[in-house]
């Protein structure tokens, strides 16, 4: 795919009124995305559409995510949130199955398993995750990049350990897809909330499933959207579910997906490799500047910068128009394609007092 330059892609697409270093909480919507959502909302409001959205646009969004994730669109299911996707996977495990996850993992990744009450949950430090996988492990559930501190998991080691013991893998790419290259085919399942680094409206979320894993994952949320012929499946039980991952689809939130299609197209035009270089470069500049001020950030090659013990400076930064977050006591800043060196320097200037 031919990519466009970062500057030309960003120009005119983003109009922040703050120094937004908080994509880990919520990404900025491109102008094209806002326009698509507005156009559909106006069409519905005026009654000029015969439904609440366009299924072809949803398919385009599915394809856009599939290209970013390195898999065929037949392996991608669309939905509304990570916790719903994980809940579907949790429903497939037999009682007593062991699930291994990092300590402090994001709640949506582990809670659907924990609330069942009949699974064996085991939490270990992130850097010991691969070593913790054993012959009794049914599933390893983890984020590629930790929400609280930006630490990047050793994904290859975890996959190798899981393969050696016959365990499945569930990767949450919510804090990485869009800036960190993703090959979703390396994992049995991936889940990705779209409203952070994918720059989508909230309500768009993506699940990928290998063909082998699809054989044992029950389509418990099946409705008309789970058929390849939705309008022929409106009454009574769906007679023929899709033979692709579409059989795990939730009914799409059309406003979100009309926007998601445009956001994913923008990311595809720029290219994840370009965004990765840009975002991690800004994060490295931030870490170096923090060290110069006497603040040691979590050492990591990540687009997310976390400084333990500095979370209480978040309100001060907010008053100065610099948007970051306080997570687990750490000051967290996250960088994306719309950020600049000036954004980094502005945050450092405020922190310098």
User: Residue 7's pLDDT band (boundaries 50, 70, 90)?
Assistant: confident
- Domain ends where: 246, 269, 292? 269
Residue 163 sits in the same domain as residue 257: yes
Residue 181 sits in the same domain as residue 207: yes
Tokens linked to 327: 């997570």
Q: Is the pLDDT of residue 58 over 80?
A: yes
Average confidence score pLDDT of the chain: 96
Residue 241 sits in the same domain as residue 210: yes
Residue 38 lies in a domain: no
Q: Residues 342, 347, 352, 353: what is their CA dihedral angle, to the nearest 10 degrees? A: 120
- Domain ends where: 248, 269, 290? 269
Residue 222 sits in the same domain as residue 232: yes
Residue 105 sits in the same domain as residue 188: yes
The candidate with the shortest Cα–Cα distance to 336, out of 347, 326, 344, 328, is 344
CA distances from residue 207 to 151, 249, 288, 337 in whole angstroms, order as listed: 22, 9, 36, 24
Q: Is the pLDDT of residue 76 over 80?
A: yes
Residue 174 sits in the same domain as residue 300: no
Domain hosting residue 212, numbered range: 46-269
| 97 CB-side CA count, 13 A | 18
Residue 36 lies in a domain: no
Residue 17 sits in the same domain as residue 94: no
Residue 89 lies in a domain: yes
Which CATH number is 183's domain given? 3.40.640.10
Residue 173 sits in the same domain as residue 320: no
Residue 283 sits in the same domain as residue 260: no
**Could you read off the pLDDT of 140-196 as tens digits, one per residue?**
999 999 999 999 999 999 999 999 999 999 999 999 999 999 999 999 999 999 999
Q: What is the pLDDT of residue 1?
A: 40
Q: Is the pLDDT of residue 80 over 80?
A: yes
% of the chain with per-residue pLDDT over 90? 93
Residue 279 lies in a domain: yes
Q: What is the pLDDT of residue 4?
A: 61
Q: Is the pLDDT of residue 3 over 70?
A: no
Q: What is the pLDDT of residue 51?
A: 84
Residue 88 sits in the same domain as residue 237: yes
Kindly write down the DSSP assignment for every residue of 284-320, as one continuous string: HHHHHHHHHTT-PPPP-SSSEEEEET-GGGHHHHHHT
Residue 41 lies in a domain: no
Helix (H, G, I), strand (E, B) or coil at 258: helix
Residue 26 lies in a domain: yes
Model-level pTM? 0.95
- Domain ends where: 215, 234, 269? 269
> What's the rounded mean pLDDT across residues 262-278?
97
The candidate with the shortest Cα–Cα distance to 103, out of 137, 153, 138, is 153
Q: What is the pLDDT of residue 2?
A: 43
Residue 230 lies in a domain: yes
- Tally the domains of the chain: 2
Residue 94 sits in the same domain as residue 126: yes
Give the contacts of 257 (CB within 8 A, at least 6 positions apart): 53, 57, 58, 61, 78, 203, 204
Which CATH number is 290's domain given? 3.90.1150.10
Residue 219 sits in the same domain as residue 186: yes
Map tokens 């889940």 to a residue: 191
% of the chain with per-residue pLDDT over 70? 99
Return d(Cα 56, Cα 69) in angstroms, integer.
20
Range with the poorest average pLDDT among 50-54, 281-285, 328-332: 50-54
Running DSSP on this structure, what letter comes out for residue 253? -
**Could you read off the pLDDT of 184-233 as tens digits, one per residue?**
999 999 999 999 999 999 999 999 999 999 999 999 989 999 999 988 99
């Amino acid at each position: 795919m031919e990519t466009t330059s970062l500057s030309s892609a960003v120009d005119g697409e983003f109009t922040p009124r703050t120094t937004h270093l908080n994509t880990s909480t919520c990404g900025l919507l491109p102008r094209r995305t806002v326009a698509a959502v507005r156009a559909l909302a106006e069409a519905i409001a005026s009654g000029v559409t015969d439904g609440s959205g366009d299924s072809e646009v949803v398919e385009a969004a599915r394809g856009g995510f599939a290209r970013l994730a390195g898999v065929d669109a037949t392996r991608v299911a669309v939905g509304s949130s990570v916790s719903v996707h994980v809940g579907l996977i949790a429903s497939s495990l037999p009682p007593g199955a062991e699930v291994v996850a990092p300590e402090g993992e994001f709640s949506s990744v582990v809670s659907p398993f924990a609330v069942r009450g009949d699974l064996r949950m085991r939490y270990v430090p992130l850097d010991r995750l691969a070593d913790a996988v054993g012959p009794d492990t049914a599933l390893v559930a983890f984020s590629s990049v930790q929400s609280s501190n930006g630490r990047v998991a050793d994904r290859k080691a975890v996959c190798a350990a899981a393969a050696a013991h016959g365990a499945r893998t569930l990767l949450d790419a919510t804090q990485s897809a869009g800036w960190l290259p993703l090959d979703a085919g390396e994992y049995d399942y991936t889940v990705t909330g779209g409203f952070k680094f994918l720059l989508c409206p909230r309500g768009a979320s993506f699940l990928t499933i290998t063909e082998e894993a699809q054989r044992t994952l029950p389509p418990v949320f099946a409705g008309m959207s789970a058929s390849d012929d939705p309008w022929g499946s409106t009454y009574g039980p769906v007679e023929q579910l899709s033979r692709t991952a579409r059989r795990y689809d939730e009914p799409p939130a059309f406003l979100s997906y009309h926007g998601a299609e445009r956001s994913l197209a923008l990311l595809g035009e720029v290219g994840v490799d370009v965004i990765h270089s840009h975002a991690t470069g800004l994060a490295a500049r931030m870490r170096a500047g923090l060290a110069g001020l006497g603040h040691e950030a979590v050492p990591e090659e990540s687009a997310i910068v976390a400084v333990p013990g500095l979370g209480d400076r978040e309100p001060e930064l907010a008053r100065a128009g610099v948007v970051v977050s306080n997570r687990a006591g750490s000051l967290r800043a996250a960088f994306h394609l719309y950020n600049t060196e000036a954004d980094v320097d502005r945050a450092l200037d405020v922190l310098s007092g």
